Amino acid sequence: MKEAPASCRVLVPSGVLGSGCPDEALARGVSLAPDCIAVDGGSTDSGPYYLGTGTSKMTRQATKHDLRQLMLARDRLGVPLLVGSCGTSGTDAGVDWMADIAREIAREEGLRARLALVYSEIGPGALLPYIQTGRTAPLDPALPLTAEQVEECEHIVGLLGYEPLAEAIADGAEIVLSGRTTDTAVLSAVPLMRGFPAGASWHAAKTAECGGLCTVETRRGGVFFTIDADGFEIEPLDGANRCTPYTVSAHLLYENADPFRLKEPGIILDAADARYEALDARRVRVTGSRAEVVPYTIKLEGAGGHGYRTMVFSAIADPKLLARFDEWLCNLDAWLRAGIARVFGLGEADYGLDFRAYGMNALNPVPPAVPPHEVGLMTLVWAPTQELATEIAKYCNPMLLHFPLNPDDPLPSFAFPFSPAEVELGRQYEFKLNHVVTVDRPDAFARTVFETIGEGARD
């Protein structure tokens, strides 16, 4: 009987597919004989637009470059390749987009592989029974989920845990492209399906989820981690880069509200008592991570459209005006609102007019001690249609160009950098959901489809 391996080794090329891993770093990772290659393909980090539209933030070209590199490495190694949250938001369209790129690469490189597509988009109809039976719950600071909120979403995805990915691999998948999946589930799927400890597997995956961010020189490619019965070890792919107990433990802080307890589907990772020990100058060993089993919940993400925006950017450097900027802007705002009400017949709730004074206080509410050298004024108009937003912005245009500080001033002119001055920003999207659903089984919202790509290529 074959003895079970004592460790499970995971190569993580980067924090997100399409951000690149230097060839030498990847080659070094491949030389360490990983049991799988796993990488995240998305995030909500760049805002609701990508989920709202089901489009990718990363360019197709960069994504294809990275996926080619990984598909070639996978083929040489004969181990599974997992890509989670395909197409940034992990919608069905995102998975199909990634699958299309994978098929193209398989054809171009003559690579044959068994591909599993694990979809995780949820139709509004599928959520309603969960709302009706009280199996959804809000996360802080949200209110309980309503059917109306669900209807407002263009796309809803459920963050999958590792189980549907592991099942696809158990069923013969060599490449798994999944819809929205927790970053950590993508990286921990193979160790967990092979029976390695949950605490170490989830903690290692959490540490490696942003690729090289847990290393000293964060732009030199990803990391490689090894899980065993008592903990995990982690090192950078790049031979000259280093992981230290400090960089590894500090990574748990990153983009994470609570650094001690991390919620994942079906478990809570408790890293409060984890011990970090340098094995040498560039490798760290971590022990003492625990995983508590909790009821299995799937986190929801949903985004929907809410009107359209048009922007005007203008700039002012006149010191006389900048010395009394707040007063000038307040007068301008009142003048424009009165005009919009008169000319368009719109009430305050029918449109939005918002000013951001970059260089003054657009980001930092603490007022500057002395007037700034110059200010870039972003005027944002919101309306139910793009046409109306632009009409209102055009109406504002002459005053944004000429509005005087004092009523009897000779006509001033400010700086418009473009003609036309109005820039249409398209539809505005918002995140609508901050909730979890309690499910009976981890694959309640997963749909897996298999195919063979590169058919006709060598076996």
Partner 1 sequence: MTKLGDAAKYIRSKSAGPFWVTIDIFCEDAASFDRIAGSPALAPRAVARLFGVSENMIRQYRLPSIHVFKISFPRPHVQGSPGDADSHAGQYFVPLLSVDLD
431 forms beta bridges with 303
Say whether 316 sits in a helix, a strand or coil: strand
For the CA atoms of 319, 324, 327, 333, what is the dihedral angle to 10 degrees? 10
**Least distance (Å) from partner 1 to the CB of residue 49?**
7
- Per the CB < 8 A criterion, the answer to whether 150 and 128 are in contact is yes
Residue whose CB is less far from partner 1, 277 or 409:
277
Give the residue, chosen from 151, 277, 348, 354, that forms a contact with partner 1 under the rule CB under 8 A. 354
Q: What is the DSSP string of 213-225?
A: GGSSSTTS--EEE
Q: Residue 49, interface with partner 1 (CB under 8 A)? A: yes
Among 33, 137, 253, 343, binds partner 1 (CB under 8 A): 253
Torsion of CA 371, 372, 373, 379, to 10 degrees: -120
Per CB under 8 A, does 352 bind partner 1?
yes
Q: How far apart are CA 235 and CA 242, in angstroms?
A: 7
Which listed residue (257, 281, 349, 370) binds partner 1 by CB under 8 A?
257
Closest CB to partner 1 among 366 and 411? 366
Q: At which residue do the structure tokens 């006149």 appear?
A: 318
Q: Is 351 in the site for partner 1 (CB under 8 A)?
A: no
Q: Is 254 in the site for partner 1 (CB under 8 A)?
A: yes
- Does 46 engage in binding with partner 1 (CB under 8 A)? yes
DSSP H or E run through 304? strand 297-316
Binding of residue 308 to partner 1 (CB under 8 A): no
Instruction: Give dist(CA 388, CA 335) in Å, integer.
Output: 19
Q: How far is the CB of 422 from partner 1 (least distance, A)?
A: 18
Buried b (16+ CB within 10 A) or exposed e, 254-266: eeeeeeeebebbb
Of 254 and 418, nearer to partner 1 (C-beta) is 254
Residue 47 Cβ, how far from partner 1 at the closest point, in Å?
4
**Helix (H) or strand (E) segment spanning residue 277:** strand 275-278
Looking at the Cβ atoms of 69 and 88, the one nearer to partner 1 is 88
Q: Report the distance separating Cα 94 and Cα 96, nearest Å.
A: 5
Q: Which is nearer to partner 1, 105 or 357 (CB)?
A: 357
Q: Pick one of 7, 22, 47, 405: the residue that binds partner 1 (CB under 8 A).
A: 47
Q: Which is nearer to partner 1, 47 or 412 (CB)?
A: 47
Residue 350 in contact with partner 1, rule: CB under 8 A: no
**Which of 132, 230, 260, 348 is the binder for partner 1 (CB under 8 A)?**
260
Binding of partner 1 by 44 (CB under 8 A): yes
Q: How far apart are CA 287 and CA 26, in angstroms?
A: 26
C-beta closer to partner 1: residue 225 or 308: 308
Query: Which CB sits closer to partner 1, 287 or 448?
Result: 287
Q: Which of 77, 216, 250, 415 binds partner 1 (CB under 8 A)?
A: 250
What's the CA dihedral at 339, 340, 341, 343 to 10 degrees?
80
Whole-number minimum distance, CB 82 to partner 1, in Å? 22
105 or 271, CB closer to partner 1? 271
398 near partner 1, judged by CB under 8 A: no
Q: Toward partner 1, which CB reaches closer, 14 or 182?
A: 182
Residues 6+ apart with CB under 8 A from 348: 337
Number of H helices, E strands in the chain: 13, 20
Q: Is 349 among the residues that bind partner 1 (CB under 8 A)?
A: no
DSSP calls for 159-212: -B-SHHHHHHHHTT-SEEEESSB-HHHHHHHHHHHTT--HHHHHHHHHHHTTGG
Classify strands 81-88 and 175-178 as parallel, antiparallel or unpaired: parallel
DSSP string across 42-87:
E-STT-THHHHHT--SS-HHHHHHHHHHHHHHHHHHT--EEEEEEE
The overall longest dimension of the chain from CA atoms, in Å, is 95
Within 96-155, which residues bind partner 1 (CB under 8 A)?
A: 139-142
Instruction: Mark the segment that binds partner 1 (CB under 8 A) among 246-254, 278-286, 310-318, 391-399.
Output: 246-254
| Interface with partner 1 in residues 400-459 (CB under 8 A) | 428-431, 434
Rounded Cα distance between 417 and 390, Å, is 17
Up-side HSE of residue 156: CA atoms within 13 Å toward CB? 23
Q: Which residues in the 275-304 window bind partner 1 by CB under 8 A?
A: 303
Closest to partner 1 by CB, 73 or 303: 303
Least separation in angstroms between CB 153 and partner 1: 13
By CB under 8 A, residue 170 contacts partner 1: no
The residue count for binding partner 1 (CB under 8 A) is: 37
Nearer to partner 1, 10 or 388 (CB): 388
- Which residues of this protein are in contact with partner 1, per CB under 8 A? 44-49, 139-142, 246, 249-250, 253-260, 303, 306, 352, 354, 356, 362-366, 382, 428-431, 434
